[in-house]
Amino acid sequence: MTEGGLLIIVAHPDDETLGCGGTLALHSEMGKPVKVLCLTCPDDERRRELKKAVEVLGIKELTVFNEKRLSDENETVNRISDVIVSTRPEIVITHLNFDYHREHRLSSELVKEAVEWAAHTTTYAEPWRVDRLLEMEVNTLIPNAHVLVDITKTFNRKMEAMECYSSQLVKFPDGYYQRFTKLKAELRGVQGGCHYAEAFIEEPLTKNSPFYQSKSTSNLFRGAK
């Protein structure tokens, strides 16, 4: 896989599209490597839908764990950090730690832990330090967003990717998810001064572990190395 880029880690197939499909497509169009890790997969149908959706979003790198339910085990943290080390993303996006969905909250916690361990020189021969961790909104809304990404250019692809999940959409009458997703993007768009946007929480990464290769900086201005 290509070093750098953006890795989205979600609990279930479709979360990546609902939460930040526009952002994924946008960075993909820019030529940034965009990668997906899905922590559970209920069955083959969902897996096929996921595959199609990420293709629509222009994503080529997809990893799917086979578990049907997400559970709180050390082993899961290890497997996630293995993926982080092998995909080497600058940015990781995952679920809100205050999501109403229990497996979303658990994903958020496990991913944060995996980001820490992926940087340890004692665990990996070639550890990897993620630069930025963001949390996205699916059904639970972020009260005060830190980041609003303008997805006007890729909003249609987000909606198209969503249509791949017919097994899910059919569960809701009256195009629930299509309407919810469109209105949420418009509302965030008004807030962000653009047509459509996606909202994120910034989760600053601590640098406390002694197991990092280096962790000081000598220039606080963004964009500086």
Q: Which residues ranging from 162 to 221 are in contact with its own copies (CB under 8 A)?
A: 171-172, 176-177, 179-180, 183-184, 186-187, 189-194, 197, 201-202, 204-221
Residue 225: CB minimum distance to its own copies, A: 8
Quick one: CA dihedral 6, 136, 173, 171, positive or negative? positive
Q: Least distance in Å: CB of 209 to its own copies? A: 6
**Nearer Cβ to its own copies, position 44 or 222?**
222
Considering the rule CB under 8 A, would residue 156 count as an interface residue with its own copies?
no
End-to-end CA distance of the chain: 24
Closest to 69 measured CA to CA, from 106, 97, 37: 106
116 binds its own copies (CB under 8 A): yes
Instruction: Please count the other Cβ atoms lying within 10 Å of the Cβ belonging to residue 167.
Output: 15
Is position 150 an interface residue for its own copies (rule: CB under 8 A)?
A: yes
Strand 34-38 relative to strand 132-136, pairing = unpaired
Scan residues 8-37 and list those touching its own copies (CB under 8 A): 23, 26-27, 30, 32
Tokens of 141: 């809304």
Q: How far is the CB of 50 from its own copies (least distance, A)?
A: 18
| Cβ proximity to its own copies, 84 vs 201, nearer residue | 201
By C-beta, is 54 or 149 nearer to its own copies? 149
Restricting to residues 39-98, which ones interact with its own copies according to CB under 8 A?
69, 71-74, 77, 90-91, 96, 98
- Minimum separation from the CB atom of position 175 to its own copies (A): 9
Q: Are 155 and 184 in contact (CB under 8 A)?
A: no
The token duo for 118 is: 């992926």
> Contact between 135 and its own copies (CB under 8 A)?
no
**Does residue 136 touch its own copies according to CB under 8 A?**
no
How many residues form the binding site for its own copies (CB under 8 A)?
A: 79
| Bridge partner list, 36 | 8, 62
The contacts of residue 70 (CB under 8 Å, 6+ apart) are 11, 39, 40, 76, 103, 106, 107, 110
